[in-house]
Structure formats: structure tokens, C-alpha cells
Structure 1
Amino acid sequence: MSNLLRKHRAAAIIGAAIVVGAGALPFAFSPPTAIAAAEPSGIIAPAGSFAPIVDVDKPAVVTITTTMKVDTGADVGDSPMDEQFRQFFENQGIPFPQQQTPQHRQSQRAMALGSGFIISPDGVIVTNNHVIENATDIKVTLDDGTELPAKLLGTDAKSDLAVLKVKAPKPLATIAWGDSDKLKLGDQILAIGNPFGIGTTVTAGIVSARGRDLHSGPYDDFIQIDAPINRGNSGGPLVDREGNVVGINTAIYSPNGGSVGVGFAIPSDEAKVIVAKLEKNGSIDHGYLGVAIQPVTADVADAVGLSQPQGALVASVNDGTPAARAGIKTGDIVTAVGSETVKTPKDLSRLVADLSPGDKRSLTVWRNGKSMDVNVTVGGNDDSKQAANDKGDGKVQPSNQPSIGVGLANLTPDLREQLNLPRNAEGAVVASVNPDKPAAAAGIQTGDIIVSVNDRPVHDAHDVQNAVAEAGKAGRKSVLLLIERGGDKTFVAVPFSAA
């Protein structure tokens, strides 16, 4: 380790947080891997030891040191991913510890440290994007201590992956990709990396969970592990009992800056596809539709007549986007992209992100009680807002319908001003909510604007009452409301049976 890393090691250990990747050491985020970590109780290594696996894999694991740009006066180690993880855990009611303020702020440059692994003898290395983000200089230290300058071949912030290349005087040791799809809860795994800059460290654990979505991007499908990982481990390999890479250690949740047994790794089956593209092209142009989506619950499925609660419910469509041009509508449920089934909103996000701008696909959507295909030309990122029309006399409509349990008011100019709505906004304001009725249980709040009922736009309280009554007469077990709150729109299914 360089004197600089030794000098800042104490500072690295002090910082706490949730940590996104173990990425950059001293002075940047938090990765995953515990310094010594005793083998978890009850875990039995093959033949009583993991040494044969370590002997083969450790020579292919590297330490990555970067010189990075930092804004004057900014704390080293702040990152967009840190904020995304913070929001995720705080939304779950889990405290996200504040990092201690560094004694000194870097004015222009800082050093950061992470891990990586070699996938080809000619020096191609995989790591996390956040390990090398904003780097002006990248250095790789091999397992035998050899230091080599590295070139950045490609990086992708959405998947938090990066590919480097070094020139070595001889073929380098490599580590092979494994099959993360075969991982099951309880499977043994090893994490290898350089926590806190103390040197290459191996820790053991099991797969704690699969498919963790931390809301950091369209590729969120993390493997959760209990193998101790810490700052500096980001980008290092997670290997199975065959010694193959099944994940890339990326982040931890930590209330104290160290490992508490909650780490996250990018699955290898996702990573190796992206890595191949980055190695070839240097970057990835992700597809974009321009919709806000949410899950299809059993109540939503029943309200729209869908046989199974699966797909991605379109909560809103941005004007001028590929989705708008293709005719996708609010209330559509996307059930397939081409021949690929969409079971969850995450499926749709990933399938679209895997496409390139200009790609043409047929989306299967459920609309007005039947399935139909919509042809879409995928685009790049675009943003715009929707508008609506104006009506309403402002009289409160005391709706006592047992199937809803809300009091409604028409939108008046005064109400629009109070609620910060456009002058041409339409819908009905929720003036009161009966705490004993299903609307309250579904999360409807006073001040919400009901924009549509069962995919039918509503102009005022009377429209809402009529639409709800019609749904009940049609034998529906629930009603689907499109609610606007704080400028965001979301669908809420309210079951009649609970009324």
C-alpha cells in the first residue's frame, strides 16, 4: 500500500454510512468486506477449507487506486448512489447514519481505493463505476504487488459497472464468470477484495436474499449476502464454491461504517452481458419509453378484469416521449415486450433499458378489458409535462358510498390555487376520508386529486360517483383510482369487499 493510503486509513475507518459500494477507500464511499471476519458458525467449507478456491482466485483480484476530481468544498466520498441508498432505507423506516464530517476538505484532488478482478490474460479488469467515477488517473496493483497504469475502456452508471485495461509483461491470472441464476438462499459464497486498504482479504458467508431492489437504477437485482465487506471492497468478486464469479460486491448497509452482515452484489449474469458491451463499445445507450409505472396488485387486476396480478401499470405518460408517440395510455398494463413476459415493473424497466435508441418493439398491453399490441420505437431520455382542462363549481359532494368512503369536492379556482394546480386541472378533490372505510386503508388522503376511475377520466365529483357506482353494478370487487398528489400520479385500487 502506498504511504498515502496508510496515512488516510484512519479517516476511512471513521466514516460511516450506508454505503454504496466499497469503492473508493480512504475517502470515498463504503463498500463491503470485513477485515478479519471469522467463518460464520455452521458454515462448512469444502474439505474443511476454502483454501483451494482462494489459491486459484486471489491472484486475479486487484486493488484499484484512483486520483479523482472533487468540487471545491465538497466532501470526498459523496455520490449519487449514496443518496439513492439513503432514500431507499429511510423509506423503509431504517435509519441511514450520517457520515462524520472530515477534518479537512479536499480542494481539488483526492485519492480513492476499490477492488476489481481480471477476466482475460491480456489485462481486462472489471470493477464498479463508482470506484473510478471522476478519476483523472487510475492505477492497478496486482496481487504480487506490481503496480500498473490502467486505461478506462468503458463505464455505465446505470448498472454501476466499469471495465479497465492494463498492459502486463506476461499473461495475467484470471477468474471465470459463474452462473448467478443458480444461486439459492443459503448457498455459500466468498467475497474477495481490499477493505480499508489493508490488503487483499477473503471473507465467507451465504446468500441471504435475491432480487433486492434498492431503487438505484433499472438494473437493481442485487444479491444480498452476509459475508463481511467494507469500504474498499467495491468492485471485488463474489465467488461460489467452484471459485467462479457470481457477483460483484457493490454496497453495504452500515450504521457504524463497518460491516453488519448486510451486503449487496450485482449478479454475474447481469454483469457479464454489460461488461461485454462496455469492452466492445466503451458505453451503453439505454432505451427509454417515458412512462411512470407501478405494480399490478390483485385489486388492480380485478378492477380492470385482468386474470393475473402481473405486468407494469402505466401511471403516467410523458408528452413527446416514445411511449406517447406510440399511443401508450395511462392505465395501460404492459404485459410483454416483444416475446419477453413482463411480470413486474422491474421487468419492464430492465427490458427497455437493454434496448438501444431506435430499436423497434411490440408492447403487449391490457386496455379496456382486452389485450392488444402497440408498436414502439425506443428513444433516448426526454422530459415533458402533461396538461389538463378545467371544470367544476366547487361544491363539496358528501359522498357516503360504502364502496369508497370519501367525501369529494369539485375543483374551483380557489382550490386549484391552494393545491398549486394548473388552472385547467380536472378531477375531484378528496375533501374527507372515513378512517373505517377501504379508501383510508388503501392510502387515500385528504387533498388527493382523483383524476380517473377505472381508466376513465373524470372531470368532477359527480363523474367519480357515477364511475364508482357503475363499477359496483358491473360486479367488480374493487375500483381503480388514478390519484395525483404533490405533482405525482399513482394508481390506487380500493376493494369494494372491505366497504
Structure 2
Amino acid sequence: MSKLNMSKLKKFNIGAMIIASFVLISPVAALAKGAPDSFADLAEKLLPAVVNVNTTQTIKIKRRTMPQIPGMEDFFRRFGQENDKRRNPGNGDEDSRQENGEDRALTRKRQSLGSGFIIDPSGIIVTNNHVIDKADEVMIKMHDGRELKAVVIGKDDKLDLAVLKVESDKPLPYVKFGDDSKSRIGDWVLAIGNPYSLGGTLTAGIISARNRDIQSGPYDKYIQTDASINRGNSGGPMFNMDGEVIGINTAIFSPSGGNIGIGFAIPSNQAQRVINQLREFGHTKRGRIGISFQAVTDDIAESLDMEEGHGALVSSVVEGGPADKAGIQVGDIIVEFEGKTIKERNELPIWVANTEIGKKAKIVVLRKGKRKSLTLVIDELPENENASDDESLTDEDQADQEVKEILGMGLEPLTEKSRKALKLEDNVAGVLITSVDRNSPAGEKGLRRGDVIVSITQEEVKTVEEALAKIEELRAKGRKSILLKIIRSGNTAFVTVKFDPKK
């Protein structure tokens, strides 16, 4: 082979290598999208549909009580009237008292600002519930400067959404919802709102994370973004690059109250279901199964000898509810709902809430390590839930008995006196915690005086001796922690307590 041919062959090989490299690299490069040259066209299209939400609330101010000194009544009455005039200019003496002679309540106006967006040309507006909650008057300021009075069609405090309606003599500009599930981490987004009352303001960023649970409610699955979101942005829309609403800006994480690049938006797919119900019924229609539960943490899983921490640990069952009728018991771990494995804390309440009311749902529970399949009928979740009273234990309520200590807890038997003080039902059996060392394993987990231990690692305990024996038995088996089922203020909870490695 000639030198010329060798040279040509080398050039051919080098060229082939370059082409091969390009073929291998180019698909990855094709997936990477750079930032848009400008957001101006998109902003011009979207800004008219984003509004400022201004609310006014009347707050009653308690009058200051005047000193009661004989012979000085007229002086202090005139002094109080002068103060009233300074607080409420324009009100004469005749306005400071009601017909019955009693002083009128002083009032002041509290104003707050937020954002919203129009989703229908007839004047339907979406915002956050916390923007308009308890407002006496809601005014909408359009992008063109017009101000319109709004009425609240419906609101939902669980997902923090509200739907408003304004009347206009002509169709209003509006935006459409998009499918947030098509958006990925790293995609560009725009946030438009009314930060610090400055008016329509646009910021850009990316989706930083999805399905964020920030412990703000039972249905958390926020989209996280680094687009600048500040006070006043609440209720404003988050757009994708097609100009579709994929989120509703709701919260920020900030030690100072200002933007640090961590904002959260309600996903559009989750919001639309609630918005449609608010428009149709004025309230939400969510499913429920009638339980309270805790997430199965790694500590709880280890205490129950489970391979991994997942599922919902049932801490209470509503009497006569769907779960009760299906045979679900306190201490069961729900691991599947309608064939889907429960991996995150918020998955079960979201799935149940979105299930059609009256539908038969199949679930799988773990009961003392064994799988059990059950079927229940989804019920409707009531709008309001009653809070339980807080009971406490005083020194006088405790019996004069010997206290046994373990894992930083002081334990005593339940007595009639302590039962009455804690308002326990007659059928409750267990052991009373009378003291907790703050620096102990029990103290670190938040256990406190007045808690009642009713079971340890899913085994009932009725006496102090049974409790001590069970704890020592689990320690001897090499368990790193124990699972306590406790009753506190009438509510049931599960708490894991680790063994002290020093002992």
C-alpha cells in the first residue's frame, strides 16, 4: 500500500471517528434546550389575564377600660371620647354610644394584597384561599387599571384555593390550564404576580423539584421553583413555555420573609379538580375512609421488623366509618390502595380524596406482619372537623405509688383519679407516663407526662410489669427501637423510641 493511500486511510478513519462521536453525542445534545432569547412575546400575551386581588377586613378593637375612681367619672369619660376621636376621626360624641347606652366597638380596616388569574372570559378568577379568607370585601384590579368588585364562589382551605367571580360588560382576557405532569425538573417556567403591591411582575426560573411535601396540609405535592416569588405573589399563576398554567404560586421558604429561590406552586392537575368542584358546588367533594394515620418511618419499620419503611400506620379509626365497617384496626399498616403501593406520606390521602364517592376500593394491610386484603366503600369527607379538648394531669391527680423508670420514662399504673383527669374511657387499659427526662430517648421523641402507653410493638400492655418485661424482651432480641402506641388528649399516636446504646 502506498504512502498516499495510507494517508487517505488515516484521514478516513479520523473522519469516521468524528462522525461516530457526533452520532453518539448528538442525541444527548438534542435533549438540552437553552434559555429562550426573550420572554417578551409570552409576557405580552399572558399579563392581561393576571390580576391583583385586594381585600379589606373590618377588625374590632377592644376599648380600653377607664379607671373607676369616685368623683372622676366625667373626666375619664371625656378622656376616653377624645381618644376615640383621635382613633376614628370624624365620629362625634353622639356616634360613640349605641342606642342602649353602651359604647360602640372601635374598628379598623385591615387590607391585604395578593394575586390571581382569569380562567374564563365571563370573569372566573382563581387565587389562594389565604388571600381572601375572612375578607369583608374583595376588589380585583385588572392589568389595564380597571377595578371590579368580586364575590367568592367557593373556597377550600385544605388545598388553599378560592374561586372568585367578577362582572364585566365585555369578555375578559383569560389563560388555560396545562398538564403539569408533562413538565420536568429543569424546565423553564414563568411566575406572574403582585409582589409588594408593585403590580403585574414577571419572573423566570426553572422547576427545581416536584411532589414536594412541605407539611402544610394532607395533600401536599408542590412544584418547587427558583423563579422569584415574594409576598403578594400568592395566588398568581406559574406558566410553562407554551403559556399554559401548570401551577398556582402558594408558598415560599424563607427565614427572612423575602425570596431566596425556593417557592412552591400547587400543580395544575391537582388544582383543576378542586376548582371545578368549587365552581359547580361551592365546596369540595373529597373521598374519605375514616382513619387517622402516620407515615411508616425507617424507625417504625425497624421496630416492627419490616424490611423497609413504607405505608400508612393506622392510629385511629372513626366508628361507623368506611374503614371501621371494612374491619381495619388501629395498628394496621395500609401498604396498598387500589393496587398502588404507598411509598410517601401524602399518597394515601390524595388517592382517597380523588376517588369517586361510593366506589368500592381494595386495600391491603399488614396486621402483625401478615398481609390481609380488605374492601371498603369510599365516603364523603366532611368540610369541617371537630378539634378535641386538651386534657392535662396535675400532681394531685397522681396516685401515691412507686414509679418505675425505663428509657427516661417514669411509669405508673392507671388509677381512677388519673383516668378522670385525662378523660379516658373505661375500656382503656395501659400504663401512665408520669415523668420524662428531656435528654433521654423518650424525651427526644416528644413523649410527655400524661401520655398513656397502651401497646408496645403491637402487643397490648396493661400493667407496668408487662411494659417493663416487653421492653427488656425486645432489647434482648437486638431491636434498635420499640414502637409505642400512646393516647394523648383523646388521640392515638405511634412513637418510636430507640434503646440507649450506652445501656
Q: State whether residues 322 and 379 of structure 1, in contact with CA within 8 Å, keep that contact through their aligned partners in structure 2.
A: no
Which residue pairs with 1:483 in the alignment?
486
- Alpha-carbon distance in structure 1 between the residues aligned to 2:220 and 2:346: 8
Q: Establish whether residue 197 from structure 1 lines up as the match of residue 197 from structure 2.
A: yes
Where structure 1 has 5 or more consecutive residues not aligned to the other structure, the ranges are 1-43, 75-102, 387-391
Task: Confirm or deny: 8 A CA contact 1:320 1:384 kept in the other structure.
Answer: no
Residues 393 and 412 in structure 1, CA contact (< 8 A), matched pair in contact too: no
Distance 2:479 2:165 in 1: 60
> Which of residues 72, 78, 84 in structure 1 aligns to 2:60?
72
Match of 1:462 among 461, 465, 477: 465
- Bigger relative CO (Cα 8 Å, ≥ 6 apart): 1
Residue 435 of structure 1: CA displacement? 9.1
Written as runs of structure 1 = structure 2, the 5 A alignment for 1:19-418 is: 46-66=35-55, 68-73=56-61, 107=107, 111-253=111-253, 258-355=258-355, 358-377=358-377, 378-381=379-382, 394-397=401-404, 408-413=411-416
Q: Percent identity?
A: 41
Distance of 1:162 and 1:436 partners within structure 2: 45
In 2, distance between residues paired with 1:118 and 1:69? 23
Tell me if the contact between 1:318 and 1:384 (Cα under 8 Å) persists in the aligned partners.
no
Matches of 2:199 and 2:405, distance apart in 1: 69
| Preserved contact between residue 398 and residue 408 of structure 1 (Cα < 8 Å) | yes
User: Is contact 1:318–1:383 with CA below 8 Å preserved after alignment?
Assistant: no
> Per-residue CA shift, 1:315-366, capped at 9, x if unaligned?
2334454434443222111123333432233222222333466554333221
CA change 1:350–1:71 in 2 (3 A) is farther
| Number of residue pairs the alignment of both structures matches | 418
- CA 1:63/1:358 → structure 2, altered by over 3 Å: closer, same or farther? same
Partner of 2:24: none
- Letter aligned with residue 454 of structure 1: T
User: What amino acid is the match of 1:346?
Assistant: N
| Rg (Cα) greater in structure | 2
Following the alignment from structure 1 to structure 2, what is the Cα–Cα distance between the partners of residues 468 and 273? 48
Q: For residues 22-69 of structure 1, what are the alpha-carbon distances to aligned partners after superposition, in whole Å with 9 as ceiling and x for unaligned?
A: xxxxxxxxxxxxxxxxxxxxxx97343222321222122122334x45
- Give SS of 1:48's match: coil
Task: Letter of the 2:424 partner, please give it.
Answer: P
Contact 2:59 2:110 in 1 (8 A): no
Task: Show CA shifts across 1:132-180 (max 9, x none).
Answer: 3344554433323344444544322221112234455554433232343
CA deviation vs aligned residue, 1:264-290 (integer Å, no higher than 9, x gap):
321222112222232333321333444
Q: CA RMSD in A?
A: 3.9
Contact 1:128 1:234 in 2 (8 A): yes
The secondary structure found in structure 1 opposite 2:164 is strand
SS in 2 for 1:107: strand
TM-score normalised over the length of structure 1: 0.70
Measured in 2, the distance between the counterparts of 1:165 and 1:340 equals 38
Distance 1:182 1:497, change over 3 A: farther
CA shift in 2, pair 1:437/1:250, >3 Å: closer
Cα distance in 1 for residues equivalent to 2:176 and 2:43: 13
Change (3 A) 1:495 1:112: closer
Q: CA deviation at 1:234?
A: 1.8
SS at match of 1:345: coil
2:21: which partner in 1? none
Alpha carbons 1:123, 1:166 under 8 Å: kept = yes
3-state DSSP of counterpart to 2:44? helix
State the alpha-carbon separation in 2 of the partners of residues 175 and 117 from structure 1: 8
Shift of 1:456: 2.2
Q: TM-score, normalised by structure 2?
A: 0.69
SS of the residue corresponding to residue 189 of structure 2 reads: strand
Say if 2:35 and 2:188, in contact at 8 Å, map to a contact too.
no
Q: Quick one: distance in 2 between partners of 1:106 and 1:260?
A: 40
Are 2:455 and 1:452 equivalent residues in the alignment? yes
For 1:301, the aligned partner's letter is A
Helix, strand or coil for the counterpart of 2:60?
coil
In 2 relative to 1, CA 445–150 (structure 1 residues): closer, same or farther, beyond 3 Å? closer
Residue 367 of structure 1, CA deviation? 0.9
> 1:60, 1:300 → 2: CA distance?
49
What per-residue deviation string (whole Å, max 9, x for no partner) do you get for residues 184-237 of structure 1? 555433210122333211122344444443443322223333333333322111
1-structure distance, mates of 2:230, 2:456: 49
Distance 1:254 1:397, change over 3 A: closer
Cα pair 1:393 1:411 within 8 Å, conserved:
no
Q: What is the CA–CA distance in structure 2 between the aligned matches of 1:358 and 1:405, rounded to whole Å?
A: 47
Task: Name the amino acid aligned to 1:224.
Answer: Q
Offset, 1:452: 0.3
- Find the aligned partners of 2:276 and 2:432 in 1 and give their Cα distance: 51
